[in-house]
Structure 1
């Protein structure tokens, strides 16, 4: 779990009399200090800082812009000039929070010009004592972030074992998480995922552990979420979807009372994510309990071959869509034609072609069921 970094950020802010913000190395917001804009004529707060605070994360474009200054490699403070075109109205001093030779996060000091004469240090030029003090605090922050990253990696490894059904994995995960795991939990699947193998640091207090897993040909993030409110799991899933490493869809399992049943919960979360991607109306956060027929379909092996009768139809996207909408409308031609924005006679013609391609009788309940389920399964 992420510690309380606010006192350390306030300490740096007080030393240099500048608004300070702490972000992790993925530009996720951890803590920020107050920003007094002064009198009524003072310029508005920097838009990049505002968005970071409101969205709890900087955008990928902002991250690329700042990283171009070499902040990920810097071992000491850097001065970042303003660039109104990039939304950076005020300059910054970046204090890299490093540990073990690796940057763990960044402390950003907003500079309205009063820090222009502060010496950052370098060859033949000692750093201003205030900067030296702030860097000592940034180093302490780096050590804390590194320790939490190690704990996160341990919890992620135990979560990977638990969702895989390894014996005793639930107890090992409980030991790694401690009291944080008390109470009901759910699993969230996010796909696809382009992050590190361990999933990275949990982006919200409700997310207890993360790990990345392979599902057929793509990587998916598994996140263990504490469920304190009815909307808690969905809110955590939405936060995960804000990550620049995340795909557009998340799935949420049913709630579990403890960590003993995470393997079936993972199947639910992954199935919900797959269904949400197949049927956008279910997303962007799809819940297992609300999947309807997709609960059965997601139990099929991923990549399973289409039913032989329906396979020829899948080569004709327009006809397949017509058949699916017709069946979604319970076989009511008027509703289906309206949903497809076509004339009824056009609908009837297409349905005849569907029957010819599949050999199925659309007046037969069993054939309708086969066709409907096969078309839904093809989406997955």
Structure 2
């Protein structure tokens, strides 16, 4: 019986072929992601495999449309042979990657590998079909978990754990991510799905935890972590050019039954991050967003002057100087401390008093009054988030 006549699972087939030909083998799909590999025992083999696991999706696609195989020397890995795997319609579904020695840059695949290629392609397609089905179910359960009715949320939580999509934990953290929806094009929204996919892949390849994700009808992505989110890592993922300018909000840790509340707050933190991008990182936590996350409950992007508090409307009608308005914002943030305000703005105190006199003449009331300060401080923040303040 031929090596692959029994049509084993992809991992077994790759290992059997590796032992038959005496070479380390890897299978990558059309996205250049590693999906199966043989045992790599030697330290150098393991080093090269780890590099492929973490970097293969950034490699240029093999030029195997016309030629069935191509040999490339990949930095940090060495010489590799890419043998195309095709379906019944001769469409490329992935590649078998064979590690070569430096002296083998002109070698051929060999009859055993060429014979195995069609079966590996069939197994890869079956794996992809199964993965696609599980992925679709995982995505739908994730969406139900954060947006469904109480009954749907409960059923989704139970299924995610029972079907081993999500790790069991005492508490979970939700993430909302996407692009600024104002003026976003369909291509921009596609980056949200890419960001969800890249994050899931990163966690799968670097952690023992299982994380789930999906995309809402509103084109907002959702991720559920069975542990606190490591913000710097998520920032690095979202800084990749392929997913910029996707931003994310991170909710608090809650039980799985209450994780929809974590997502609600993550969504508000995400809104705050694109309403005031200069004031927030591309990954913003609920606590870190502060008042902005609370204000983000309002449809600020649709606000006009008429939606602001009376004192703020009066001020913005009379003053259109970005410098004066920034001075007042700083003064109010400093609690009316003139010395601290002047220091923060790097201006002389007499200059500050001159500006404050002009501002006092623009509003009815005393800037020393706590209620007026509160209205102006909050009103100006609302105006800034709504994009109603003049640009410098």
Provide the TM-score with structure 1 as the length reference: 0.70
Q: 2:25·2:99 contact (CA, 8 Å) conserved in 1? A: yes
Q: Hey, what does 1:344 align to over in structure 2?
A: 349
Q: Which has the larger radius of gyration?
A: 2
Counterpart in the other structure of 1:300: 298
Q: CA deviation at 1:269?
A: 0.8
1:208 aligns to 2:208 (yes or no): no
Corresponding position of 2:254:
256
- The equivalent of 1:310 in structure 2 is 312
Matching of residue 365 in structure 1 with residue 365 in structure 2: no
- Equivalent residues in 2 for 1:48-67 (5 A)? 53=53, 56-57=54-55, 62=58, 65-66=60-61
CA distance in 1, matches of 2:117, 2:253: 44
Contact 2:26 2:96 in 1 (8 A): yes
Q: CA deviation at 1:268?
A: 0.6
**Which residue number in structure 1 is paired with residue 108 of structure 2?**
118
CA-to-partner distance for each residue in 1:226-265, whole Å, 9 max, x for gaps?
22xxx4464774575366335353211112222x334322
1:154 aligns with 2:170: no
Supply the distance in 2 between the matched residues of 1:118 and 1:232 (Cα, whole angstroms). 47
Q: How many Å apart are 1:188 and its aligned residue?
A: 0.7
Pair 1:327–1:131, CA change in 2 (3 A): farther
1:209-224 matches, within 5 Å, as 209-213=212-216, 215=218, 219-224=219-224
Distance, in Å, in 2 between the alignment partners of 1:274 and 1:165 is 21
Give aligned pairs, total: 343
Change (3 A) 1:275 1:117: same
**Match among 310, 322, 325 for residue 327 of structure 2:** 322
CA distance in 1, matches of 2:10, 2:373: 59
CA contact (8 A) 1:190 1:249 kept: yes
* Residue in 1 that maps onto 2:175: 188
**Match of residue 81, structure 2, among 75, 81, 93:** 93
Contact 2:249 2:268 in 1 (8 A): yes
Corresponding residue for 1:245? Answer: 243
> TM-score, normalization: structure 2?
0.68
What 5-or-longer segments of structure 2 have no aligned partner? Answer: 1-8, 180-188, 387-392
- Is 1:177 aligned to residue 160 of structure 2? yes
Q: 1:330 to 1:94 in 2, by over 3 A?
A: farther
Matched, 1:269 2:269: no
| Match 2:287 to one of 280, 286, 289 | 289
* Greater mean alpha carbon deviation, residues 293-302 or residues 352-361: 352-361
Higher mean C-alpha deviation, range 103-112 or range 299-308: 103-112
The reply to whether residue 79 of structure 1 matches residue 70 of structure 2 is yes
Residue 379, structure 1, aligned to residue 385, structure 2 = yes
Q: Which structure has more helix as a fraction of its residues?
A: 2
**CA distance 1:104–1:171, change in 2 (3 Å):** farther
User: Contact 2:70–2:83 (CA<8 Å) still a contact in 1?
Assistant: no
Query: What residue number does 1:122 align with?
Result: none
